[in-house]
Amino acid sequence: MTHNVLVVDDEPKLCDLLASALSQNDIAVFTAGNGLHALKVLESEDIDLVISDWRMPGMDGPQLLAEIKNRYPQLPVIVMTAYSTVKNAVQSMRNGAFDYIAKPFDIDELDITVSKALQFRDILKDNLRMRAELDEHQQIDSLVGDSPSFRRVLSAIDSVRESNATILLTGESGTGKEMVARAIHKHGNRADKPFVAVNCAAIPEGLLESEMFGHRKGAFTGAVADRVGRFQQADKGTLFLDEIGEMPLALQAKILRALQERIIEPVGDPRERKVDVRVIAATNKNLLDAVANKEFREDLYYRLNVFPIPLPALRERVEDIAPLARHFAHTLGAAAGKRFSGFSAEALQAMARYSWPGNIRELQNCVERATIVASGAEIEEQDLPAYLFASQPTQSGALVAEGSVPADLEAALAEVEKAYILAALAQSNGVQAAAAQLIGISERSFWYRLKKLGIHVDKIVR
């Protein structure tokens, strides 16, 4: 098996010496004269190991090591130094170096150290590959269900998976939008290329442009080196823009240009770069309402909405609750070393009666808890969390009593929303992040709802 090793040193003769020594061990050697050149090599080549000098002009060894650990945390680095003090060696190891060698070094010692580092890299690669295969398998298998509404989703996936059309996935939080996006990518014509996911609500607004398009060194405070953005990372593959409705207006125009012209411009770099990316966007917001409220660009909405796929809420596909629950019990139970034959009839009835405001994500959390507390081969009603049986807002099909209609629909819906928020806060002991996760929305969306509904957390939970 051939490995790629990058040697970084400002002395060309030393680079040549190492290249000659290492190439005899079925190793392809790349060289760089400084830290910045090394980062460019890492962006373009699949490097298995970096051997870097400690002292270099410009970006020195410690700075390069820090940048590599930030960008490529699984990549081993061996530090070389002619200043073979204990202090330098210890510092390099503390900062994440795999090992160090002192100049002048013995070739046999070099071979042993390099061999150990490459073995370590191979083990990490195998672990990551197996984990990715397992995660991907679980993600695809989680598209479980045979209800008419979900069959329409599967049919839409089959229709669009081989195309390069931009897709807009809509639906409440927790309905499985990322799983659908991964399924489209996995079974499409870009399956062997990268799938890059970005949560637009989870990245601070000031960093979002750099995250999307990359930046040049010195473009802003803290930009100590060039950075490749998500569009370039996803080149030839799929870029999944989750919670696209939270994208700031100022950045929407640049996203629109990237979609229309397939051109991006990193922050601080006037040079344009072409990208070939298939975009799948997702949102739990009504983007047409956002357009009407001047919160979302109309032209971007129509550019994203080429092939819309609406995902049904779990309460709209009640017949899928049982097979989904069994699937989660099987996979989660196996991970915990348990094997379950299924659920009792009473447990299935209790889950069918509940409205699942957090949708599939909430169901998975519920089943995971049940697999932990269940003592028998079958998950019983008493193994389910208590909130399934507590007073809950009525299910969507029975919100209005027969013969009655609310005089103010907005106020009535706000009361239902407030009831869910309060229930989630009570169950999470007032921890807002946990409450947001419980009902399947982002923390930003949760904070917005607290403010909109006038809920003060310190007055709710004692």
Residue 348's CATH number: 1.10.8.60
Same-domain pairing of 169 and 60? no
Is residue 350 domain-resident? yes
Helix boundaries (H) for 220-358? 230-233, 249-261, 287-292, 298-304, 321-335, 345-353
Same-domain pairing of 232 and 302? yes
pLDDT beneath 50, residues of the chain: 134, 136-141, 391-403, 459-462
Is residue 132 domain-resident? no
Same-domain pairing of 339 and 209? no
Give dist(CA 134, CA 365) in Å, integer: 19
Same-domain pairing of 36 and 185? no
Q: What is the 3-state secondary structure (H, E, C) of 101-142?
A: EECCCCHHHHHHHHHHHHHHHHHHHHHHHHHHHHHHHHHHHC
Give dist(CA 164, CA 78) in Å, integer: 42
Q: 161 is in which domain, residue-wise?
A: 142-312
Phi/psi region, residue 9 (left: phi>0; alpha: psi -120 to 50; beta: rest), is beta
Give dist(CA 196, CA 240) in Å, integer: 6
Among the three residues 336, 360, 390, which one is the final residue of a domain in this structure? 390
Give counts: helices (H), strands (E), the chain: 18, 16
Same-domain pairing of 192 and 301? yes
Q: Which pLDDT belongs to residue 196?
A: 94
Tokens for 76?
A: 């081993």
Instruction: Give pLDDT tens digits for 402-447.
Output: 445 556 666 667 777 777 787 777 777 678 887 887 777 777 778 8
Tokens for 312?
A: 């049904």
Is residue 399 domain-resident? no
Among the three residues 283, 312, 341, which one is the final residue of a domain in this structure? 312
Same-domain pairing of 103 and 147? no
Same-domain pairing of 244 and 350? no
Give dist(CA 462, CA 460) in Å, integer: 7
Amino acid at 253: A
What is residue 367's three-state secondary structure?
Answer: helix
| Buried b / exposed e along 253-265 (16+ C-beta atoms within 10 A) | ebbbbbbeeeebb
Sequence-ordered list of residues with C-beta below 8 angstroms from that of 174, at least 6 positions apart, any chain: 314, 358, 359, 360, 361, 362, 440
CA distances from 405 to 29, 112, 326, 397 (A): 75, 79, 38, 14
Residue 390 CB neighbour total at 10 angstroms: 11
Q: Which pLDDT belongs to residue 142?
A: 53
Residue 131 CB neighbour total at 10 angstroms: 10
Same-domain pairing of 198 and 234? yes
Same-domain pairing of 190 and 109? no
Q: Whole-prediction pTM value? A: 0.57
What is residue 432's three-state secondary structure?
Answer: helix
Same-domain pairing of 73 and 89? yes
Same-domain pairing of 260 and 301? yes
Same-domain pairing of 147 and 249? yes
Which candidate, 63, 62, 80, 69, places its Cα nearest to that of 21?
A: 80
Q: Which pLDDT belongs to residue 462?
A: 31
For tokens 């970084």, the residue is: 8
